[in-house]
Amino acid sequence: MNLQLTQKERTLLEDQKMHEEICIQKYTNYARQAKDPQLKQLFNQYASQEQQHYNTINQLLQGQQPMPGGNQGFQQQGQQIQDQQLQSRPQAGMAGQGDAALCTDMLMTEKFVSSAYDTAIFESANAPVRQALQHIQKEEQQHGEGLFNYMQQNGMYNPQ
């Protein structure tokens, strides 16, 4: 099924694509900087999921309905895009900062990205677009929860 996107949907999807690109960059760079092996693994896992989000958005922008459960057809293309982005842009973020600062930055980033998805979901006319964005937003919220839990367990965040 070929999706006919509204101009508003196209604009919102382009914005979300940029957000995903930045998340990929940050998680990848922060995985290299993190001292704790568990945190490195968490950042790498989230970078991979952000790449899947990026690929899903590309599918939507091409008028394709995303495949449930993965984007294998776009995985290699996405990896090439990620490699190019990392080489062509300055390192995002907080070089030389500790793990707590990296986590704090990523938690703030996830809060912002999830909020932006909220707007895109409400302003999408196509049900398949809304459903894909809702799935991505849920995963973004799970990233935030994972970061929050890591920070709390490691004495980096006290919600009291």
Quote the pLDDT of residue 68.
Answer: 60
* pLDDT bucket at 97, cuts 50 / 70 / 90: low
**Residue 108 burial (CB count, 10 A):** 12
**Residue 41 burial (CB count, 10 A):** 12
Interval 65-92: pLDDT, tens: 987 655 443 344 444 444 444 444 434 4
Quote the pLDDT of residue 93.
Answer: 43
- Per mean pLDDT, which of 9-18, 59-68, 88-97 is the most reliable? 9-18
In the chain the domains, ranked by start, together with CATH numbers, are 7-153 (1.20.1260.10)
Interval 127-143: pLDDT, tens: 999 999 999 999 999 99
Looking at residues 105-127, what average pLDDT do you find?
97
Amino acid in position 93: G
List own/partner pairs for 11-16 with CB under 8 A and 24 or more apart: 12/119, 12/120, 12/123, 12/124, 13/57, 13/60, 13/61, 13/120, 13/129, 14/61, 15/116, 15/120, 16/53, 16/57, 16/113, 16/116, 16/117, 16/120, 16/133, 16/136
Share the mean pLDDT of the chain. Answer: 86
* Contact call for residues 99 and 35 (beta carbons, < 8 A): yes
